[in-house]
């Protein structure tokens, strides 16, 4: 289903300032810039991280495990499993950047171990053939110095203080890979048939999006299929999975930061997705593929009625479904004589809303985009999205005037009339 909340959470999580003094190509090799007055990280840590990254790229399990403290038996076992889980994942790049080291509440340990520190590290990786920009994931590692050589002891010690290492699909089990014409599907514990079905539906979604969206995009989609709702929430860095229970899929990514397509992921909730009909599944994946396509002209301030409504408009485009069947909650409201008084606000799209409230928000956004396409044409709808997408309500208001010749109040009035006329 819809990806707005996770998109913005992911964007906030990975939108961190990089060091202006260093060219981007050197960032993955640097030891982190730090802040004025901060002590320099202990020497040798970045070198160990670089060797660890090279081991992943070279598929060298021995070199990878050399970065792990042999006395941390349980963690070493998990790391051995993680490395094996990555075996079939097509990696184009994999680097670590040491951001900083400090105590994070960890006591210094003397004796054979020497110093013990906590490190904030940025993992950056790209999937071959799909990512034009890297995924960034923050890890909080506990390190120990044994005889002048730094090794990793744990990646969970900071959790009690809210410093949780971001989890990836390969943290959850062996990753199975299915390639489609326009899709790459990565799954854990789902079975080949389920992953092929996702690839086939995503392959059908991509051309549909291409016909409806006038902007340039890569025309490729990466889908992640975890084993359960809880595992989906883990990938979204959510502490409570209940908010995603009825959400069939979520798109994550960093919105509107570069002209190149960022590394989006469509993460599927196997429980909600599994309850849908074939048509429903196709609508969901087309909706999410639209988020991938429009990412470079979408920001964290884009009105959700527009971004979600446009994604639904693309997903339902050409379906032949009557409006009342696509917008049943608003149809009931119109029948009761209580049509919506305003366009849906961003708060109306919160996953904490009731199913009925959330449905009305999506239906209202869909009908707003459908109205523009019906009255001004599909090309104008695309132009309106590009004009309004890079800003908030103020930008949308200017786009209404520039693209549609309407003030926001008149647009709302016409939308209310359109809703009633279509659903009466």
- Reported confidence tier of residue 25, pLDDT bands at 50, 70, 90: very low
Task: Indicate the fold that domain 31-166 takes in CATH.
Answer: Nuclear Transport Factor 2; Chain: A, (3.10.450)
Distance CA 272, CA 367 (A): 24
Domain ranges in the chain are 1-15+168-297, 31-166, 301-424
How many Cβ atoms sit within 10 Å of the Cβ of residue 408?
16
Task: Output the CA torsion sign for 292, 406, 395, 416.
Answer: negative
Whether the per-residue pLDDT at 26 is higher than 60: the answer is: no
DSSP line for 9-78: HHHHHH--PPPTTS-HHHHTTS-----TTPPPPPTTHHHHHHHHHHHHHHT-HHHHHTTB-TT-HHHHHH
* Better-predicted residue by pLDDT, 373 or 11: 373
Q: Which listed CATH number (3.40.50.1820, 3.20.20.70, 3.30.420.80, 3.30.2010.30) goes with 1-15+168-297? A: 3.30.2010.30
Average pLDDT over residues 58-84: 97
- Reported confidence tier of residue 75, pLDDT bands at 50, 70, 90: very high
**Candidate from 53-57, 95-99, 268-272, 293-297 with smallest mean pLDDT:** 293-297
Whether the per-residue pLDDT at 153 is higher than 80: the answer is: yes
Supply the pLDDT for residue 381: 97
Helices (H), 137-277: 192-212, 229-235, 270-274
- Reported confidence tier of residue 161, pLDDT bands at 50, 70, 90: confident
Domain 301-424 has CATH 1.10.390: yes
pLDDT 10s digits, 238-264: 888 888 988 999 998 754 444 455 679
Supply the pLDDT for residue 108: 46
Supply the pLDDT for residue 13: 36
**Candidate from 49-63, 241-255, 345-359 with smallest mean pLDDT:** 241-255
Supply the pLDDT for residue 31: 36
Whether the per-residue pLDDT at 385 is higher than 70: the answer is: yes
């Amino acid at each position: 289903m819809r990806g707005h909340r996770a998109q913005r959470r992911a964007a906030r999580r990975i939108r961190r300032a990089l060091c202006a003094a260093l060219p981007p190509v050197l960032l993955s090799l640097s030891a982190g810039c730090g802040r004025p007055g901060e002590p320099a990280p202990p020497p040798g840590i970045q070198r160990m991280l670089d060797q660890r990254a090279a081991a992943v790229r070279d598929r060298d399990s021995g070199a990878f495990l050399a970065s792990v403290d042999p006395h941390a038996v349980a963690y070493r076992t998990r790391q051995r499993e993680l490395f094996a889980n990555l075996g079939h994942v097509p990696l184009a790049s994999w680097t670590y950047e040491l951001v900083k080291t400090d105590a994070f509440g960890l006591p210094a340990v003397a004796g054979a171990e020497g110093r013990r520190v906590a490190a904030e590290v940025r993992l950056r990786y790209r999937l071959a053939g799909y990512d034009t920009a890297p995924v960034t994931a923050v890890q909080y590692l506990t390190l120990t110095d044994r005889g002048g050589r730094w090794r990793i002891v744990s990646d969970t010690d900071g959790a009690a203080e809210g410093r949780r290492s971001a989890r990836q699909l390969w943290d959850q089990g062996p990753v199975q890979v299915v390639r489609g014409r326009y899709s790459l599907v990565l799954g854990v514990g789902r079975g080949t048939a389920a992953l092929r079905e996702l690839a086939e539906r995503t392959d059908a979604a991509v051309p549909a999006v291409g016909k409806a969206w006038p902007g340039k995009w890569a025309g490729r989609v990466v889908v992640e299929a975890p084993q359960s709702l809880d595992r989906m929430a883990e990938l979204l860095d959510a502490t409570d999975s209940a908010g995603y229970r009825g959400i069939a899929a979520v798109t994550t990514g960093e919105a509107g930061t570069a002209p190149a397509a960022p590394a989006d992921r469509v993460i599927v909730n196997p429980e909600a997705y599994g309850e849908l009909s074939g048509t429903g599944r196709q609508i969901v994946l087309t909706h999410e593929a639209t988020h991938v396509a429009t990412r470079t002209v979408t920001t964290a301030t884009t009105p959700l009625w527009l971004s979600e409504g446009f994604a639904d408009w693309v997903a339902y485009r050409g379906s032949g479904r009557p409006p009342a069947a696509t917008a049943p909650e608003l149809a009931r409201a119109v029948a009761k004589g209580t049509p919506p008084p305003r366009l849906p606000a961003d708060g109306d799209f919160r996953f904490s809303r009731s199913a009925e409230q959330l449905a009305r928000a999506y239906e209202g956004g869909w009908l707003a985009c459908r109205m523009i396409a019906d009255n001004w044409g599909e090309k104008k709808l695309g132009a309106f999205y590009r004009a309004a997408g890079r800003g908030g309500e103020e930008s949308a208001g200017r786009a209404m005037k520039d693209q549609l010749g309407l003030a926001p109040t008149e647009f709302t009035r016409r939308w209310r009339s359109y809703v009633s006329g279509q659903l009466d």
